[in-house]
Amino acid sequence: MDELPQELQLLPPEKKRESDATIRAILVETLVLLATSRANREAMRARGVYQVIKLAHLAETDPKVRHFPSFPLKLC
């Protein structure tokens, strides 16, 4: 995860993940949409985003978010 900015690598222990599963699902959907083009995937890979996604996926407890995109969000 050396690609990440220094300030993101040294988060204090009191830093908590987003508690709202809907917001976490929206964030996942945003990353999925960003990853639809090759250029965006390469940019995300170069910046270490996939490492963050992997760790977030391992920490996710809500099955609706964990198994995204098995349920499409309605953002209307």
Contacts 24+ apart (CB under 8 A), 66-72: 68/25, 68/28, 68/29, 68/32, 69/28, 69/29, 69/32
What are the residues whose beta carbons fall under 8 Å from the beta carbon of 39, sequence distance 6 or more?
none
DSSP type of residue 12: -
What's the pLDDT at 67? 77
Domain extents in the chain? 1-9+18-76
**Along the chain (76 residues), what's the average pLDDT of each consecutive run of 10 residues?**
65 79 87 88 87 82 76 46
What's the pLDDT at 69? 61
What are the residues whose beta carbons fall under 8 Å from the beta carbon of 34, sequence distance 6 or more?
40, 44
Tokens of 44: 């995300």
Residue whose tokens read 């690598």: 9
What's the pLDDT at 16? 80
What's the pLDDT at 8? 64
